[in-house]
């Protein structure tokens, strides 16, 4: 049976404000909050909120037969929680249906997978934890920033325990193969791959309302007929797109929501179902291996990483940022780490691109984007330098921090031990009070122990403790010293109560 696998991406960066050279060192806040709030609320109103409602209604109407998947970047989640919490509430409702899957990605929608493996893993873990805390799902499938994929990245993703990964379905990687199958990574065969179907995905995401398109208008029955016409053995039709395609890129007036609502009805007529990425990966076996020595993505004609790293401006900013990665990853400062995550968003590098028009850039030119980013980065590096001076080598710094952390752990451990000893020692005083008569001998042995300890320390403290020596009338206790030495052996066993009975006699 054929299954349509819908996957929607949601991401919005923290756009930078105009940050001039003279702000460096004096202004440590880099973001245009007004623009970010306005953009998030606008997109939520026209796209996210109505799309969530439509999908929830479809799940209910078709009794759980319609399914979809989402990945929401960490920076988008942060902004949605502040500026449009109703969107988060809508996703919680979708999560509760059991028909929606949330995927893992990087916390900052970053390019860390290309240069900083440890930082990449940390971001993915942080993002997975965030998804689980918000929606109650632990992600099983990974989706990298802009679907960037390579053999090296596949290794990292497998190490993190994911069962599968979404990939672009680029011609340069697939060659003659169809994207409508499950594949496995050539570098790590245990990692399954789902390939985006570029034609069917873009029919909805980019061509749907294009009057000049030969297939305009696109109706639900026409689209399902195209899918039904694919070879019978091609059972995974992967439609991966930006969630803003519903209501923002393709306006409500284009009929995009009506199109979406009608899909399950026509799909059922052709015996076509819907499935989440995990369901597809768990149901179908890989039919072959996919290898990519160089990173590929779902953006641009070349389907590579040139939209972010294609010119010298982008490369300069990218390498300047990640040359301080090791030091920032050592930091415990929440503010510093948060800025580090936000500054890694791929959008900042995309705005520096000179290849194509950049309709979503907040800057008038790529050069303005570069200058602003580098000014911000200069200030950020000064803050890192203040915490971790460059005069100390990174390895030495790492060793020092490890020592400090180990000492902190040791202090915590010792404090726990003290607490345990205190709680264990509490019953002892109570036991002493209940036996008033027998105490004399026990008391006699304690001062003796103190004196022995004091002798070991130094002679001067003993001078102040002359009284205890006088108190120790029983220096004749030299004879009693021998007896208590024999009695502890019996006291070591549960016969410790024998002493009191002897005195009572």
- In DSSP notation, 259-320 reads HHHHHHHHHHHTTEEE--HHHHHHHSPP-SEE--SS-B-SSSSS-SSHHHHSSHHHHHHHHH
482 contacts: CB under 8 Å, gap ≥ 6 = none
Q: How far apart are CA 112 and CA 116, in angstroms?
A: 5
Q: How far apart are CA 271 and CA 264, in angstroms?
A: 10
Torsion 390-393-398-404 (CA) sign = negative
Q: How far apart are CA 309 and CA 410, in angstroms?
A: 45
Chain centroid, CA 102 distance in Å: 13
202 contacts: CB under 8 Å, gap ≥ 6 = none
Burial class of residue 331 in the structure, from the number of CB atoms within 10 Å of its CB (0-12 exposed, 13-18 middle, 19+ buried): middle
Pairing of strands 182-185, 164-167: unpaired
Strand partners, 193: 165, 183
Residue (of 15, 35, 12) closest to 368 by Cα position: 15
454 flagged as catalytic: no
Among candidate residues 101, 105, 146, 244, the one labeled active-site is 146
Instruction: State how far the alpha carbon of 406 is from the alpha carbons of 333, 399, 400, 412, 413, in Å.
Output: 18, 10, 10, 10, 10
- Known catalytic residues are 146
């Amino acid at each position: 049976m054929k299954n349509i696998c819908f996957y929607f991406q949601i991401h919005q960066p923290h756009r930078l404000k105009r940050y001039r050279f003279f702000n460096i060192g004096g202004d440590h806040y880099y973001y245009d909050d007004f623009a970010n709030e306005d953009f998030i609320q606008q997109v939520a109103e026209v796209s996210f909120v109505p799309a969530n409602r439509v999908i929830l209604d479809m799940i209910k109407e078709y009794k759980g037969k319609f399914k979809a998947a989402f990945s929401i970047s960490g920076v988008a989640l942060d902004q949605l929680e502040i500026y449009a919490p109703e969107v988060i509430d809508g996703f919680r409702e979708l999560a509760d249906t059991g028909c929606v899957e949330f995927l893992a990605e990087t916390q900052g929608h970053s390019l860390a997978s290309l240069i900083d493996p440890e930082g990449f893993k940390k971001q993915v873990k942080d993002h997975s934890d965030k998804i689980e805390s918000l929606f109650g799902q632990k992600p099983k499938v990974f989706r990298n920033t802009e679907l960037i994929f390579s053999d090296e990245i596949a290794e990292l993703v497998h190490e993190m325990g994911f069962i599968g990964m979404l990939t672009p379905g680029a011609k340069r990687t697939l060659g003659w193969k169809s994207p409508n199958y499950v594949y496995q990574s050539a570098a790590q065969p245990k990692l399954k791959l789902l390939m985006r179907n570029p034609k069917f995905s873009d029919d909805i995401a980019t061509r749907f309302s294009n009057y000049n398109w030969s297939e305009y208008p696109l109706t639900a029955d026409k689209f399902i007929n195209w899918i039904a016409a694919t070879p019978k053995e091609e059972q995974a039709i992967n439609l991966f797109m930006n969630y803003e395609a519903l209501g923002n890129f393709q306006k409500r007036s284009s009929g995009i929501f009506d199109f979406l609502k009608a899909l399950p009805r026509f799909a059922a007529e052709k015996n076509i179902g819907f499935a989440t990425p995990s369901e597809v990966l768990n149901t179908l076996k890989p039919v072959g291996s996919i290898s990519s020595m160089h990173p590929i993505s779902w953006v641009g004609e070349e389907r590579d990483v040139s939209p972010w790293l294609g010119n010298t401006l982008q490369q300069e900013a990218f390498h300047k940022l990640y040359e301080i990665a090791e030091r920032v990853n050592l930091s415990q400062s929440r503010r510093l780490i948060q800025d580090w995550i936000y500054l890694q968003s791929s959008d900042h590098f995309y705005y520096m691109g000179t290849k194509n028009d950049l309709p979503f850039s907040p800057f008038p030119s790529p050069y303005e984007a570069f200058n602003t980013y580098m000014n911000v980065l200069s200030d950020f590096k000064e803050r890192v330098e203040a915490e971790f001076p460059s005069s100390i080598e990174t390895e030495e710094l790492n060793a020092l921090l490890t020592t400090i952390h180990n000492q902190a752990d040791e202090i915590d451990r010792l404090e726990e031990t003290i607490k345990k000893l205190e709680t264990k020692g509490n019953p002892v005083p109570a036991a002493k009070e209940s036996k008033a008569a027998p105490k004399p001998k026990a008391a006699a042995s304690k001062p003796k122990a103190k004196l022995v300890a004091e002798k070991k320390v130094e002679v001067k403290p003993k001078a102040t403790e002359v009284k205890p020596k006088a108190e120790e009338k029983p220096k004749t206790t030299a004879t009693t010293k021998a007896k208590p030495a024999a009695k502890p052996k019996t006291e070591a066993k549960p016969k410790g109560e024998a002493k009191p009975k002897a005195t009572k006699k």
